[in-house]
């Protein structure tokens, strides 16, 4: 029987020739983790440089899926990738094998998700509409979703764009990485790390939802002006804010 990988998230900060890193625990924001690691004030502006998917094994042979989020201090971006990265980022798999101890008071859901700011040659933006029965139902959302165990973060996004809209997009630069933590008095406590990428569709077609009985009810291309008039999901607002901050709250 094939074992499902244990999922881990780490955050790393490029400060020059040095790259330091730490494990991201449930509910933590990756940027806050590296600020605390090097003694920077909380909220210090950092540049998200990359997300690396590492598929490896723990010392006991159990598969590990590690999503490594890389940030840089302002002015240090040109040091990435560095010799330290080629030698292997820490914490190593052996340091991440142990399960995180969480209070057993309620069920918790965590996931790493990849979303796209998807555009075409005309500058239109591709959005998907969340289906009834899912959080944010009826709002317009960025194409994307959870990264499956063993899946690369960019491959996951390309798959999601195809499933939700029928478009073939090329995943480009990382825009930003943030987190979402929704504690609940009842039910599941939800924690997600969100990675936002540029995606370009060179040959756009009429969008159509390919997945059946999924979380997407509709999809479409919109001009930037049309996007500003839509009821957007929390995730879409978070991602689009980094592409046109003056038009969105």
Q: What would the pLDDT profile of 42-63 be if each residue is shown by its tens digit?
A: 889 999 999 999 999 999 999 9
What are the sequence ranges of the domains in the chain?
6-96, 108-240
Class of CATH domain 108-240: alpha beta
Question: Which pLDDT score is estimated for 18?
Answer: 85
* Residue showing tokens 């292997």: 88
CA dihedral of 115, 197, 18, 45, whole degrees rounded to 10:
-90
Q: What is the pTM for the complete model shown?
A: 0.92
Domain 6-96 has CATH 3.10.20: yes
Cβ neighbors of 245 (< 8 A, separation 6 or more) are: none
> Is there a common fold for 6-96 and 108-240?
no
Query: Does the pLDDT value for residue 67 go beyond 80?
Result: yes
The torsion angles phi and psi of 86, rounded to 5 degrees, stand at: -65, -25
């Amino acid at each position: 029987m094939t074992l499902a990988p244990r999922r881990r998230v780490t955050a790393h900060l490029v400060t020059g020739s040095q790259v330091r890193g730490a494990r991201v625990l449930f509910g933590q924001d990756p940027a806050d983790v590296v600020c605390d690691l090097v003694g920077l004030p909380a909220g210090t502006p950092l540049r998200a440089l990359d997300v690396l998917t590492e598929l490896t094994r723990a010392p006991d042979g159990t598969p590990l899926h590690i999503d490594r989020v890389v940030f840089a201090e302002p002015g240090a971006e040109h040091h990435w990738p560095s010799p330290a990265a080629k030698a292997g980022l820490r914490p190593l798999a052996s340091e991440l094998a142990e399960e995180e101890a969480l209070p057993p008071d309620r069920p918790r859901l965590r996931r790493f998700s990849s979303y796209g700011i998807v555009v075409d040659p005309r500058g239109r933006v591709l959005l998907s509409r969340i289906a009834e029965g899912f959080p944010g139902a009826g709002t317009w959302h960025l194409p994307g979703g959870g990264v499956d165990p063993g899946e690369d973060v960019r491959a996951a996004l390309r798959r999601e764009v195809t499933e939700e809209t029928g478009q073939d997009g090329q995943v480009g630069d990382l825009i930003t990485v943030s987190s979402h933590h929704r504690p609940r008095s009842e039910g599941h406590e939800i924690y997600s790390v969100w990675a936002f990428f540029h995606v370009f569709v060179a040959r756009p077609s009429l969008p159509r939802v390919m997945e059946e009985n999924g979380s997407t009810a509709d999809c479409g291309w919109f001009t930037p002006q049309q996007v500003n008039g839509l009821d957007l999901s929390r995730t879409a607002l978070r991602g689009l804010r980094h592409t046109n901050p003056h038009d969105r709250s």
